[in-house]
Amino acid sequence: MDEVIHEEILEKIRNEFPHAVKDGAVDWNRYAATNLRLLWVLREVHDGNIARGGEGGGWDLRRFLREDLLNYPRWHVTYGAVAKVSNALSQGVAPADVACMSSRNVIGTLKEIAVINLNKLGGKARVETGGFKEHIRQFSPFISRQVEALAPHVIIAGGTYDLLSEYSCGGASIATSQKFGATISGDRWLVKAYHPGQTKLKDHVYYERIENSLREAGWAGNTCATAKARKTQSL
């Protein structure tokens, strides 16, 4: 885990793509201090300037999550689930308790995690597939280096597992055609899951699927660095 190297990677991205949105550990000190370093890999940020026809980008997702998130009326659509799942995994909370959890009450957990996007130029509310994969191809070398610098214990590929696999950004592979699954490579867990903004599952069920996938693969709670792997299974 190396903050200096991670910042150097972000500067190289910005040098090549001036409108890239910076991402990574929301609060590096708190991320480094937690006993479960959790990285969410998502698709792209929703950039209001792009949605209005402008160029967009050039801002910092980490700062937004630390300081401005609650000013965005729909913050809970994606980051409500991210906060709940991250808190529950780190604290060993039961799914039934997540059902009673308020995302606003656990929003502080976001400062203990890292979030990166495959397309760092941002987009509209829905991913436009036209140039999306080309952007991922351009950013994939940087993403792989970000993952190494962040050194997460757990990576949650939120609707991005197939893309991580296709562009060799995620390391290990999950042998399942199901929507949820998990595996371990070395001391790093990789989880395949829906995007956290999905509407098919309640947040506590979404968390339960993630937790069960991890446990089926050998997870023993947040002592992830020493857990032993078993053959990957999925729900």
| Long-range pairs, 65-68, Cβ under 8 A, ≥24 | 65/26, 65/110, 65/111, 65/115, 66/26, 66/27, 66/110, 66/111
Half-sphere exposure of residue 85: CA atoms within 13 angstroms, side-chain side: 34
Q: What span, in angstroms and rounded, lies between the C-alpha atoms of 36 and 38?
A: 6
| Model pLDDT, residue 126 | 54
| Model pLDDT, residue 81 | 96
Fold of the domain built from segment(s) 3-216: Uracil-DNA Glycosylase, subunit E (3.40.470)
User: Exposed e or buried b for every residue in 122-150, given b needs 16+ CB within 10 A?
Assistant: bbeeeeeeeebeebbebbbebbbbbbebb
Q: Which residue has the higher pLDDT, 33 or 51?
A: 33
Q: What is the DSSP letter of 160?
A: T
CA 109 vs. chain centroid, Å, equals 13
pTM of the model: 0.86
pLDDT tens figures, 58-99: 789 999 999 999 998 888 899 999 999 999 999 999 999 999
